Structure 1
Amino acid sequence: MMRRFLVTSAALAALVTGGAGTASAQTLRDALAQAYRSNPTITAERATLRANDENVPIQRASGLPGVSSSGGYSENLYDSGGGAGPLRSATGRVDLSVPVYTGGAVRGSVRAAETRIEAGRAALRGTEADLFTQVVAAYNDVIRDEAIVRLNQLNVRVLRTNLQAARDRFEVGDLTRTDVAQSEARLALAEGQLRNVEAGLIGSRENYIRVVGTPAGTLQAPPPLPNLPADPQAAVEVALASNPDLEAAQKQRDATRYDVQVARAGRLPRVGVSVGTAYQNYLGSVGNAAALAGFRNDSLGLTGGVNLTLPLFQGGRPAAQVRQAEARRSAAIENVTFAERGVVSQTRSAYANWQSALQVIASSEVAVEANKLSLEGVRAENSVGTRTILDILNAEQELLNSQVTLVSARRNAYVAGFALLAAMGRAEADDLNLGDIGPLYDPVQNYDRVRRRIGDWGGDGEPAAVATRTTDTAPQTPAVAADPTLGDPALQRPVDSTGRNPAGTPR
């Protein structure tokens, strides 16, 4: 059974390079591509990462020169000196300040922002893997539930035929009222079970719309999963090296080291250079007396200097900030251990679920074949009078249950196998080779676009929705197309296999 899922010579791209199919068929590749383009979870995570990209120019701005200007106008409303001074004035001033030394605060803040951006990129990879896992699960849920609905529909049809045959034989005295009641009860239970699985199919189809963004069409069987590990230890080793959630936690831990440096810079000297120019004009209001007193109608001044700030005592704030940053770094270190534990547990659990599902597949296949033989035997024994109608009904139910178990196990094995690849960091857009559907989202592109910008004016404009809405999709129904591969001849035969006509005469 394991060979069904292992493809040692193929890359993971084989997962989404299944046949194109017919025009109305939908492949797993189509669903993954649609979700990658338009799922709101991943589009929101991309926007969050773009917002984090702006932290680099924000922090770098503290170390760049700053230019400011000011201006004013004033009127001399009352002068006890008899109006000897100017009556009005207008001033304008421009100042340039250049930070020279900040104790490493700017550099540390920039490095911390850059490291957190790397953490955000890893988190985006994790979001991709989680989304693709949801798509694979939703895709296989629909396939599973469609198969289960078909099996139950077939079971109901067979039981209706059985009930009619039992009633006919009761009319001629070949069966008792108890036999008819047993057939009626089994049909009623089967119809109720059919309603339940149909509701489950509707739920799976609605969940598919939620995750993928479009209704499920005719879904093709997904291709085999390649490059699954041979043992859990090998899976854990790959996961510890490649899991995006663990990498994100590690980058967050690394960023806190720079936070400590920034906090320590709060008690170090700061040096800056400033240059300023000011212009003043009295707007022709300098009278003779003011002119004799030395007032000119306008003036221009230029100033320059070096500013040194040496903190001596700040009430304990710098030390508290250092201790706070160190404590947060300690928490980040522990979070890495927590994430590492989660990766190990998730990987081992996914491997165990995958292996368990493979074993269930093998045992269910044996059970299906055995139940088919059992049903044939019970029918044969019923024809000679050694088995009752109830025995046949029970054998049919056991066959149906084993077929449903087999369908569910195949779904569980596929989803668990993909979840294992996701835990190993092998289920992201690059791994799935989705690039040929169009350019993949490149988080570095936006970072390179904004990291060196120093203009105060600008923006990207009012955002527009990227993810598709699903409000205009029609409510899903449990309708399924016929699948001849599920038409098991053992279930299609009626209970009445005694070789007698309703009148009781041999055929």
Structure 2
Amino acid sequence: MLAQTAPPTTAQSPAGPGAGPVLTLHDALQTALKNSLDIQISQNNVDVQGLRNNAGFAGALPAVGITASNNAVVNNTQQEFNTGSSVSRTGAVFSQYNVGLAGTLLLYNGGHVVATRKRLDELAQISQLQLNSTVQNVLADVSLKYYAVVQQQRYIRTLEASVEVSRQKLRLIETRQSVGLANNADRFQAQLDLNAQLETQQQQQLAAQQATADLLRALTMDLNTPVAVEDTIPVNRSLSWAELEGSLAKNPDLLAAERQIRVNELIERETRAARYPSIGINTGTNFARSQNSVGTTLFNQSYGPYAGLGLSVPLYAGGVNRRQVDIARINTRTTELQSNALQRNYRLNALKAWEAYQKQLSLVTTAEQSYTTARQLLKLVQLRLDAGLSTLVDVKLAQQSFEDAGYRLVNYRYAAKSAEITLRQLAALLAP
């Protein structure tokens, strides 16, 4: 089980003392980097590839081993010699001991070792790029989930303001009814409007709780951890397409795809190397001892070093190697096509995100003006209602306009922030 890393406390939540400490985006991203299971898995893959990136795995280092055996044999023996004598023995014992130290060193095998060594290095680089990609994905996912919570809480703030207007409206009507200036129909309608507002507020609180649970899950934290988020969705209006387009080439997924082409080319070289002769050195030392209770040789012992040169020349294997080379060549071309397709898709996604980013920025500007106007209208209608110049219908329409303007503003801000996060992720510019 992973240790749960609690976010640092920076301030008390504006939502109340029971809502928990305020979790800033920076703290959330730092916590995700520490706790993310995906990052830990990617880091393990980097460690594995680092261990494999070794001359021994490529077959460039000598192999040394010790062999030993001890055999004892009991035979019933009957022998006749050309001298005319004979031997018959029951339970004759024969024992043999062998100990050897052997070493082999590959000198040449068509460049297979060199190609393998380079391929292992490329795989280690790819694993590091995949780790960087995982980090970018985690940062983007946590950022989107963080601002999704802010989005839901901003909805609640808009509803709270509207609910307060409904409460004031109900109190005003009850006051008027007490002096005979309003009837039960007005009071009932005001009460129904307030109940509907409260129901919507409760539903929105549930949506905010679920969004918070999604954020805590992304942070690998206990889902019961009380936290609150910041109250705004800041949008960076200074992004430059030229800068983003230049950074797009540094995307770790695209760099990994390019290195994968190199890996397949090296596999092609490794496969082609099987056509060439293999030369190696064999050296070592042996010790052998045998004893026999019957026969012409009763005792034999030998020991000493040896050295030799081995040569293996492939002549024919049913055309398997040629077909394997063709398969490796096709796989290389396939990887090139996949890399080109990935580059096109990433550029297309970046262009779409850039267009969405620009469009949402203009919508945010308009929505901010509409929200300000709707809030002013609601205050004006309240004042007119107090003076007896507005009806309940006027107040309800002003409330609906205020809520719609608040929803649109929050939605546009979140959409603009989502496009911004996507652009930064594609350009590998996200940082905690």
Residue correspondence of structure 1 range 365-376 to structure 2 within 5 A:
365-376=368-379
1:155 partner amino acid: S
Query: Matches of 2:252 and 2:42 in 1, distance apart?
Result: 14
2:143 aligns with 136
Matched, 1:55 2:62: no
Query: Matches of 1:217 and 1:379 in 2, distance apart?
Result: 35
Residue correspondence of structure 1 range 46-125 to structure 2 within 5 A:
46-57=43-54, 60-78=57-75, 79-81=77-79, 82=88, 87-125=94-132
Query: Matches of 1:229 and 1:43 in 2, distance apart?
Result: 31
Residue correspondence of structure 1 range 331-342 to structure 2 within 5 A:
331-342=334-345
- Of the three residues 200, 207, 214, the one matched with 2:214 is 207
1:330 aligns with 333
1:472 aligns with none
- Of the three residues 261, 282, 302, the one matched with 1:253 is 261
Query: Matches of 1:146 and 1:387 in 2, distance apart?
Result: 31
Query: Matches of 1:64 and 1:176 in 2, distance apart?
Result: 98
* 1:179–1:390 Cα contact (<8 Å) kept: no
The 3-state SS of whatever aligns with 2:314 is coil
Matched, 1:264 2:260: no
Query: Matches of 1:107 and 1:95 in 2, distance apart?
Result: 24
How far residue 325 of structure 1 moved from its aligned partner, in angstroms, is 0.9
How far residue 75 of structure 1 moved from its aligned partner, in angstroms, is 1.9
* 2:150–2:232 Cα contact (<8 Å) kept: no
1:263 partner amino acid: T
Query: Matches of 1:299 and 1:50 in 2, distance apart?
Result: 48
- Of the three residues 237, 251, 265, the one matched with 2:246 is 237
Distance 1:32 1:222, change over 3 A: farther
Distance 1:383 1:201, change over 3 A: closer
* 2:233–2:414 Cα contact (<8 Å) kept: no
* 1:60–1:106 Cα contact (<8 Å) kept: no
How far residue 337 of structure 1 moved from its aligned partner, in angstroms, is 1.1
- Of the three residues 375, 391, 395, the one matched with 1:392 is 395
* 2:287–2:303 Cα contact (<8 Å) kept: yes
How far residue 161 of structure 1 moved from its aligned partner, in angstroms, is 3.7
- Of the three residues 196, 203, 207, the one matched with 2:203 is 196
- Of the three residues 265, 280, 287, the one matched with 1:279 is 287
Q: How big is the alpha-carbon RMSD for the aligned residues of Structure 1 and Structure 2? A: 2.8
Distance 1:150 1:266, change over 3 A: same
Matched, 1:219 2:207: no
Query: Matches of 1:406 and 1:173 in 2, distance apart?
Result: 41
Query: Matches of 2:209 and 2:182 in 1, distance apart?
Result: 40
Matched, 1:361 2:370: no
Aligned length: 403
Q: 1:21-73 deviations in whole A, cap 9, x for unaligned?
A: 54854332222111111211111111112112233227645222111222222
* 1:144–1:407 Cα contact (<8 Å) kept: yes
The 3-state SS of whatever aligns with 1:147 is helix
Matched, 1:315 2:318: yes
Query: Matches of 2:369 and 2:237 in 1, distance apart?
Result: 27
2:122 partner amino acid: T
Q: 1:193-214 deviations in whole A, cap 9, x for unaligned?
A: 2122111111121112112234
Query: Matches of 1:61 and 1:243 in 2, distance apart?
Result: 30
2:69 partner amino acid: G
Q: 1:367-387 deviations in whole A, cap 9, x for unaligned?
A: 112213333444455567664
Distance 1:176 1:227, change over 3 A: closer
Query: Matches of 1:258 and 1:324 in 2, distance apart?
Result: 13
* 1:89–1:281 Cα contact (<8 Å) kept: yes
How far residue 176 of structure 1 moved from its aligned partner, in angstroms, is 4.9
How far residue 357 of structure 1 moved from its aligned partner, in angstroms, is 2.6
1:29 aligns with 26
Per chain length, whose mean CA-contact separation is higher, i.e. which structure has more relative contact order (CA < 8 Å, sep 6+)? 1
Higher strand share: 2
How far residue 260 of structure 1 moved from its aligned partner, in angstroms, is 0.6
Matched, 1:406 2:416: no
TM-score, length of structure 2 as denominator length: 0.84
Structure 1: unaligned runs, 5 residues or longer: 1-19, 433-507
1:124 partner amino acid: L
* 1:243–1:343 Cα contact (<8 Å) kept: no
1:41 aligns with 38
Distance 1:359 1:259, change over 3 A: same
1:503 aligns with none
TM-score, length of structure 1 as denominator length: 0.72
Query: Matches of 1:196 and 1:223 in 2, distance apart?
Result: 22
2:160 aligns with 153
Query: Matches of 1:272 and 1:73 in 2, distance apart?
Result: 29
Distance 1:184 1:223, change over 3 A: closer
Distance 1:87 1:48, change over 3 A: same
* 2:32–2:218 Cα contact (<8 Å) kept: yes
Distance 1:427 1:228, change over 3 A: farther
How far residue 222 of structure 1 moved from its aligned partner, in angstroms, is 7.4
Structure 2: unaligned runs, 5 residues or longer: 1-8, 13-20, 80-87
